[in-house]
Structures are given as C-alpha cells and as structure tokens.
C-alpha cells in the first residue's frame, strides 16, 4: 500500500538506475533566510512580505520559462535557515531576472534594502538572508528507484546500468566506468 503525501498521490517511481544529461553549462542558485530565535518576532511584517514575494516569484518563474529558470526546489520551512534551490540556464539569465523591472523580484529586493537601511549596519535585526551561485560545467547524478527529482526533473534521463555511467567518476568523464571493482 502506497503512502500518500500531504499533497495527494505519491509521485511515480522510475525503476532502475538512471543518470541525467543536461546540454551545456547551468547555474545552481541557493537562496535562504535565517530567523534568529526570538529576535525575528519583531519583524513578522518583513518576513511575511518576503515570503509572499518569494511565492509570487516562484509562480512567475514556473509560468515564464523564457526567464531561464529551469527548476525551483524549496526545502522544508521547518529548517532554519530555509533554503530555496534554483537551476538556471545561465548566470546571465539569473542576473537579468534579478534586475528586470517588469518581473516580480526587483521591487521586493529594493523594498528589503530600504527597510534594511533603517538599521545600524544596514541589516534587519533577527533576520539574515543569503544567496550562493555555482556555475556548473561538470556534474554527476544518480537515481535508483526514485521519482524525478533535482536535475532529473529538467534533464534527459539515461540508463546508468552499464558503460561509463555506472560509476561517479565515469559520469564525471574521468574514467570509462570500470573504476569500481565491486560493480564489475
């Protein structure tokens, strides 16, 4: 009997061992917010506005693939800091979206900066934000009996049961896949 998630039917599971191919480089963008225990309670309005803006941006990015965001993956809101992972076609796509006056990011970003300037050190007490961007030209991924997740949601699935794709070093093009004695 399959367990149901809170979001309805369980996702379909792809049986077997797969890797993924993505044409060209891409950017992994990680953004997050940290709420200092106790101190953030005085900033509920700021946090609410940031959350509402993030939801609007996620919706916009899913509705407009021309912006170049290929995947948005939100971690559990129960973690602190909370992270959002995005995969972008290029850093130019990411930077263009961040500064696009017609998109849903620039206004809330400028508002955040206006609010932050009202505090010593230009930071909102009790609330931290961060982002990291990684330009990826080489990667490896493996999925065994998994629903599509991560890069598998945006790339071409390929069998990883034989040849070069059998091992991590093989998937990174460092060997021909015969580098792990246990799987010979």
Same domain, 158 and 108: no
Same domain, 64 and 44: yes
- Phi, psi angle pair for 85, to nearest 5°: -110, 130
Same domain, 119 and 160: no
Instruction: Confirm whether 81 is domain-assigned.
Output: yes
The residues that bridge with 5 in the sheet, in sequence order, are 8
Same domain, 72 and 152: no
Number of structural domains in the chain = 2
pLDDT band (50, 70, 90) for residue 48: confident
Write down the pLDDT at residue 154. Answer: 94
Burial of 52 (0-12, 13-18, 19+ CB in 10 A): exposed
Instruction: Confirm whether 94 is domain-assigned.
Output: yes
Write down the pLDDT at residue 121. Answer: 59
* 5, pLDDT greater than 60: no
Instruction: Confirm whether 19 is domain-assigned.
Output: yes
- Phi, psi angle pair for 120, to nearest 5°: -60, 130
Instruction: Confirm whether 9 is domain-assigned.
Output: no
Instruction: Confirm whether 79 is domain-assigned.
Output: yes
Which residues constitute the domain of residue 148?
A: 15-23+141-179
User: pLDDT tens digits for 113-127?
Assistant: 887 776 665 567 677
Same domain, 97 and 128: yes
pTM: 0.82
User: pLDDT tens digits for 135-162?
Assistant: 999 999 999 999 999 999 999 999 999 8
12 conformational bin, left if phi > 0, alpha if psi -120 to 50, beta if neither: beta
Do the bridges between strand 82-88 and strand 14-21 make them parallel or antiparallel, or are there none, so unpaired? unpaired
User: pLDDT tens digits for 83-132?
Assistant: 899 999 999 999 999 999 999 999 998 988 887 776 665 567 677 889 99
């Amino acid at each position: 009997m399959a367990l149901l998630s809170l979001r309805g039917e369980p996702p379909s599971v792809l049986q077997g061992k797969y890797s993924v191919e993505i044409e060209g480089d891409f950017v992994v963008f990680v953004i997050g917010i940290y709420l200092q225990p106790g101190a953030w309670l005085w900033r509920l309005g700021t946090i609410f506005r940031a959350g509402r803006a993030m939801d609007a941006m996620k919706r916009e990015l899913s509705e407009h693939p021309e912006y170049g965001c290929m995947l948005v993956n939100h971690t559990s809101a129960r973690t602190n800091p909370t992270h959002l992972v995005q995969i972008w076609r290029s850093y130019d796509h990411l930077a263009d979206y961040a500064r696009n006056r017609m998109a849903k990011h620039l206004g809330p970003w400028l508002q955040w900066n206006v609010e932050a300037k009202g505090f010593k050190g230009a930071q909102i007490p009790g609330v931290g934000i961060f982002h990291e961007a990684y330009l990826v030209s080489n990667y490896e991924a493996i999925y065994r009996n998994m629903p599509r997740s991560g890069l598998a949601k945006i790339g071409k699935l390929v069998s990883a049961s034989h040849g070069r794709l059998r091992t991590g070093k093989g998937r990174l093009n460092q060997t021909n896949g015969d580098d792990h004695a246990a799987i010979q």
